[in-house]
């Protein structure tokens, strides 16, 4: 299927195999509105990021996430129950830095093959404790359209169907169900795709972010 407004070119002489997962993600996105790549992050990087998130929890640095970009909060956490912590290169954490470099590589690849003009990004760690969920929503704020693409990276080893916590992405003819499996990345347009996280039956950890044009 062809998506309006998204053109794609192949870079002549491009042989970089590190970019194979980038192409997988982009190709599946172009085909199905939802890109999936099962090996976007290496095993080592995934393990390092998992360690980070466990440490952040122990240090009590993860905080309840709000909705929207203003004071509009959800004190009873009826919309979403995850806790988050924003990434920042200034943290000087090797895994965080490696992750953000990987993201920058992807953005470069996306811009040069699809003319997307992404010039900023933001990512946060997220943890859903057992029983938490995130109801059906879109990722673009009503009064701010800078978020162009959502990119989610999962850190959970051996996630099973009965663990719940699936990402449900709503397509025209139903919904697609994605297990939050370690090393897997999911990619879709922030203003188009409605999605939700079903109730997790075990602790679910991820890194979620947005590619922006500002």
Q: Does 134 bind ligand OGA (CB under 6 A)?
A: yes
Q: For the CB of residue 123, give the shortest distance to ligand OGA in the complex, in Å.
A: 10
Residues in Cβ contact with 76 at an 8 Å cutoff, skipping those fewer than 6 apart: none
Q: Does 206 bind ligand OGA (CB under 6 A)?
A: yes
Q: Which is nearer to ligand OGA, 62 or 113 (CB)?
A: 62
- Give the burial string for 150-185 (b: 16+ CB within 10 Å, else e): bbbbbbbeebeeebbbbbebbeeeeebebebebbbb
Q: How far is CA 187 from the centre of its chain?
A: 7
Q: Does 208 bind ligand OGA (CB under 6 A)?
A: yes
Residues in Cβ contact with 212 at an 8 Å cutoff, skipping those fewer than 6 apart: 118, 119, 120, 121, 122, 146, 147, 148
Q: How far is CA 208 from the centre of its chain?
A: 4
Q: What is the largest CA-CA distance in the chain?
A: 54
Out of 26, 151, 197, 211, the only residue in the binding site for ligand OGA (CB under 6 A) is: 197
Of 133-192, binders to Mn ion (CB under 5 A) are 139
Q: Does 189 bind ligand OGA (CB under 6 A)?
A: no
Handedness of CA 75, 175, 114, 6 (dihedral sign): negative
Q: What is the x/- site pattern for ligand OGA, positions 103-132, by CB under 6 A?
A: -----------------------x------
Q: Which residues pair with 144 in a beta bridge?
A: 141
Q: Does 83 bind ligand OGA (CB under 6 A)?
A: no
CB-CB neighbours of 60 under 10 Å? 8
Q: What is the x/- site pattern for ligand OGA, positions 143-162, by CB under 6 A?
A: ---------x----------
Residue 167 interacting entry, from Mn ion, ligand OGA, none, C-beta within 5 to 8 Å by type: ligand OGA
Q: Does 96 bind Mn ion (CB under 5 A)?
A: no
Q: Which is nearer to Mn ion, 43 or 68 (CB)?
A: 68
Q: For the CB of residue 152, give the shortest distance to ligand OGA in the complex, in Å.
A: 5
Question: Which of 154, 90, 85, 112 has the alpha carbon at shortest distance from 26?
Answer: 112
**Site for ligand OGA, rule CB under 6 A:** 126, 134, 139, 152, 167, 180, 195, 197, 206, 208
**Site for Mn ion, rule CB under 5 A:** 139
């Amino acid at each position: 299927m062809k998506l309006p407004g998204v053109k794609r070119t192949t870079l002549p002489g491009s042989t970089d195999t590190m970019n194979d997962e980038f192409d997988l993600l982009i190709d599946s996105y172009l085909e199905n509105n939802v890109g999936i790549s099962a090996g976007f992050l290496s095993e080592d990087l995934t393990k390092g990021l998992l360690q980070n998130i466990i440490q952040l929890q122990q240090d009590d640095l993860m905080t309840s996430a709000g909705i929207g970009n203003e004071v509009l909060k959800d004190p009873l956490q009826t919309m979403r129950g995850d806790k988050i912590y924003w990434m920042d290169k200034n943290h000087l954490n090797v895994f965080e830095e490696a992750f953000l470099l990987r993201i920058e590589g992807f953005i470069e690849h996306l811009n040069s093959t699809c003319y997307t003009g992404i010039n900023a990004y933001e990512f946060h760690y997220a943890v859903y404790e057992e029983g938490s969920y995130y109801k059906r929503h879109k990722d673009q704020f009503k009064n701010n359209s800078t978020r162009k693409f959502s990119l989610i990276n999962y850190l959970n080893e051996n996630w099973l169907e009965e663990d719940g916590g699936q990402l449900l992405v709503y397509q025209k003819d139903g919904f697609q169900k994605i297990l939050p499996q370690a090393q897997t990345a999911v990619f879709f347009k922030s203003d188009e795709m409605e999605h939700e996280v079903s109730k997790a039956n075990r602790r679910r950890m991820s890194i979620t972010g947005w590619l922006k044009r500002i």
